[in-house]
Each structure stands twice: as structure tokens, then as C-alpha cells.
Amino acid sequence: MTRRTAVLSFAVVLAVGGLDACRKKPEPDPVPAASPATDPNAQRRADSIAAANLATRRRADSIAAADAAAAAAKAGDETKRTSAELAQILAQKVYFDYDKDVLRDDARAVLDAKAPILIANGWVSLSVTGHTDERGTAEYNLALGQRRAAQVKRYLESKGVPENRMSTQSMGDSQPVAQGTDEASYQQNRRAEFEFPANGGALVRPKS
């Protein structure tokens, strides 16, 4: 056994002794402590016990802190998950028929899901951008995109979302998401998109 190993073993023995001391047992009769001045070994033993006690307290504290952090993280994750889920609903696009700004049933359903979230999260402002497919003139498509965005805004307003928390704009046919020249591509491009600044806040569920 090397000298270093011997020292570690000693420390472990002392530590175990210290832990034993923490267990709830009937208190033994006090034994007069040997005076450190007269007994150097007794002083070393006392110091070791104190160090072991300190280490134990620290470990217990850190376990408690870790438990608290885990609990907080769990709660934070839940908040984040909820917020992300609601953000996904807010970001969901709505689609239109060719050359129309009329809200179809599927678009109304999407907007119906957004409205209560917007009402429950009064800090959220929503930007609605209207888009068109490539057919027709650039200028008329810009106007059509604006009409689509305005139609969405009006509908959300009718569902209780304050007008001053929504803005509209149009990109016309300038930002297609699908490049094809078939109806499936055109349908993907005839849409309204939604943006809302995060502002560091978390979205909360509307109270049912």
C-alpha cells in the first residue's frame, strides 16, 4: 500500500464514522473530550469529523438544489411545450380560392383556433400577409393579397381580437412557396401567413 492510498482509506473510514454520527441513535453519555492541547490525535479526529459533516451537508444541499432545478425545468419545459404548440396554431396558414378573398370553411376553422389564443395572450400582436399565385398581373395580385389579409383580419376581429393588435400587408405573387405551374402549386401559394414577435414571452392556453 502506498502512502497516498493509506491516507484515502483513512479519510473514508473517518467519513463513514461521520455519517454514522448523523444517524439517529440514543445519545451516548458525554465523554469528556480529550484536550487537543494534551492529545494531538483527538484534535485531528475532531477536525476530520467536522469535515465529513460539512461534506455531507453540502451533498444533501446539492441534491435538494438539483431536485428543485429538475422540478423547475419540468415546469419550464411544459410551459415551453405549450407555448410552442400554441405558436404553431397561430402560425398555421389559411388558403383561398383563385382570385377570391372569401374565407372558406377550412380557413374559418383555422382562424377559429387562433382567436382564443390571441385573446388569452394580450401581449401578442399579429401580422397577416396575403399572397397570391402567379397568374394575373403583379399589381392586381398585390391588391388581391391585401384584400385576403384584410379579410382575415376582419374575421379575427369579429371573434374578439382587438383590431389594433393586427396589421396587414401583401406580397402579391412575389413569394411563392411552390414553384410549379399546376393547380396544387397555385393552391399552396394562394394563402395568408401569420407572424408574431416572440418578445421573450410564453403563450398560455386560453381558459376554457
Q: Rule CB under 8 A: which residues touch another protein?
A: 98-99, 136-140, 142-147, 150, 153-154, 167-172, 174
Q: Nearest distance from residue 146's CB to another protein, in Å?
A: 5
Q: Nearest distance from residue 125's CB to another protein, in Å?
A: 13
Q: Please, what is the Cα angle at 48 between 45 and 51, to 5 degrees?
A: 155
Nearest CB to another protein, comparing residues 121 and 170:
170
Nearest CB to another protein, comparing residues 47 and 97:
97
Nearest CB to another protein, comparing residues 79 and 175:
175
DSSP characters for the chain? --HHHHHHHHHHHHHHHHHHHHS--PPPPP-PPPPTTT-HHHHHHHHHHHHHHHHHHHHHHHHHHHHHHHHHHHHHHHHHHHHHHHHHHHH--EE--TT--PPPHHHHHHHHHHHHHHHH-TT--EEEEEE--SSS-HHHHHHHHHHHHHHHHHHHHHTT--GGGEEEEEEETSS-S---SSHHHHHHHSEEEEE---TT----PPP-
Q: Nearest distance from residue 155's CB to another protein, in Å?
A: 12
Q: Nearest distance from residue 175's CB to another protein, in Å?
A: 9
Nearest CB to another protein, comparing residues 15 and 143:
143
Nearest CB to another protein, comparing residues 42 and 143:
143
Nearest CB to another protein, comparing residues 90 and 171:
171
Q: Nearest distance from residue 151's CB to another protein, in Å?
A: 9
**197: buried, middle or exposed (CB in 10 Å: 19+, 13-18, 0-12)?**
exposed
Q: Nearest distance from residue 140's CB to another protein, in Å?
A: 5
Residue 36 has phi, psi (to 5 degrees) of -55, -30
